[in-house]
Amino acid sequence: MRRAIDLTTTITQFQRLARCVEEAPRATYVDAKNLRTLIGDAFDAFNASLREAGLAVDNTDKAFELEAHMYEYVKRCNPEAYFLMTAEGFGHHIDGPARERILQNLRESRETVMRSRMVCAHPAGCAMPPAEGDVFCADCRSALNREPNEPSTAGES
């Protein structure tokens, strides 16, 4: 059975997910970040297919609306995916007056959860044991602390 979609609500929810992905600290809201990437990649592949077929595409609001509809589709097919509602809540409140408190609580919660794990918390899936008193292994901690443009020292003695 088809249901009408409230476009304003759909766009607002997708915008909140996007704010979560932009603002959430590293190693938090990983499932939401992965879904946002998946939707973006699917949309890019769709546009590429249209171009290959000789059809025009653009980056207007209609393009964003299509991504929002894709998000709505995922939500309707996965009503038990509570991480999406949590991510939307984070995205909704992160720009408000409680921003710093929200971020601090999230960092503390992330550290507590990660300490309970027996493997490194690196989002890329490192399987090394964490260093003493840390949630990351020594190699991942070094990589995380390195400046974005700083070269890696892995493999150097």
Q: pLDDT digit string (tens) for 38-69? A: 999 999 999 999 999 999 998 888 889 999 99
Evaluate whether residue 1 is within a structural domain. Answer: no
Cα 157 to the chain's mean position, in Å?
35
Q: Is there a single domain that holds both residue 72 and residue 44?
A: yes
The mean per-residue pLDDT over the stretch 77-83 comes to: 93
Q: Is there a single domain that holds both residue 105 and residue 125?
A: no
Token look-up 């609580």 returns 105
Evaluate whether residue 153 is within a structural domain. Answer: no
Evaluate whether residue 157 is within a structural domain. Answer: no
Q: Is there a single domain that holds both residue 63 and residue 81?
A: yes
Q: Is there a single domain that holds both residue 74 and residue 141?
A: no
Evaluate whether residue 92 is within a structural domain. Answer: yes
Evaluate whether residue 64 is within a structural domain. Answer: yes
What is the number of domains present in the chain? 2
Q: Is there a single domain that holds both residue 51 and residue 98?
A: yes
Question: 93-97, long-range: CB within 8 Å, 24+ apart, which pairs?
Answer: 94/19, 94/20, 94/23, 95/19
Evaluate whether residue 156 is within a structural domain. Answer: no
Domain with 125, as residue range(s), is: 118-148
Cα 16 from Cα 25, distance rounded (Å): 15
Q: Is there a single domain that holds both residue 104 and residue 34?
A: yes
Answer yes or no: is pLDDT of 88 > 80.
Answer: yes
Q: Is there a single domain that holds both residue 68 and residue 131?
A: no
pLDDT 10s digits, 125-146: 666 666 666 666 777 766 655 5
Evaluate whether residue 27 is within a structural domain. Answer: yes
The band of 116, judged by pLDDT with boundaries at 50, 70 and 90, is: low
Q: Is there a single domain that holds both residue 112 and residue 122?
A: no
Whether the model pTM is above 0.75: no
